[in-house]
Amino acid sequence: MMTIALHCRCIGKPGRFQALKKIVDYIAAKEGVWVATRTQIAEHFREKFPYEKGYLAPGVKRAEAPNTLNAWPAHKDVPV
């Protein structure tokens, strides 16, 4: 997955939109590439991996994942 971040101060300059269009067209022309919005990616993920009560992710039961409390794995040091 590749994200192209666009800040209005950068992409809003004359001539930059054409460069963006060229790179997106170039990427989209490659075989097997899917150019999608965040919404399209989320919808695809939801369709592929439907919500299952009691699971954090496909195949990962909440009860069997105690190291995910506070969203930081217990076996890793918390960054300072």
The more confident residue out of 7 and 28 is 28
pLDDT digits (tens, 9 = 90+) for 13-70: 878 888 889 999 999 999 999 999 889 999 999 898 888 887 777 777 777 766 555 5
Range of the domain at 56: 34-65
Evaluate whether residue 7 is within a structural domain. Answer: no
| Within-domain flag for 41 | yes
How many distinct structural domains can be found in the chain? 1
Ramachandran region, residue 32 (left: φ > 0; alpha: ψ -120 to 50; beta: rest): left
Phi then psi dihedrals of residue 3, to 5 deg: -110, 140
pLDDT, residue 39, reads 93
- The helix or strand, by DSSP H or E, that contains position 27, with its residue range, turns out to be helix 16-28
The answer to whether position 55 is within a domain reads yes
pTM exceeds cut of 0.75: no
- 71: in domain: no
Here the tokens at position 70 are: 């506070």
Please report where in the chains the tokens 């506070």 appear, as a residue. 70
* In-domain check, residue 50: yes
29, part of any domain: no
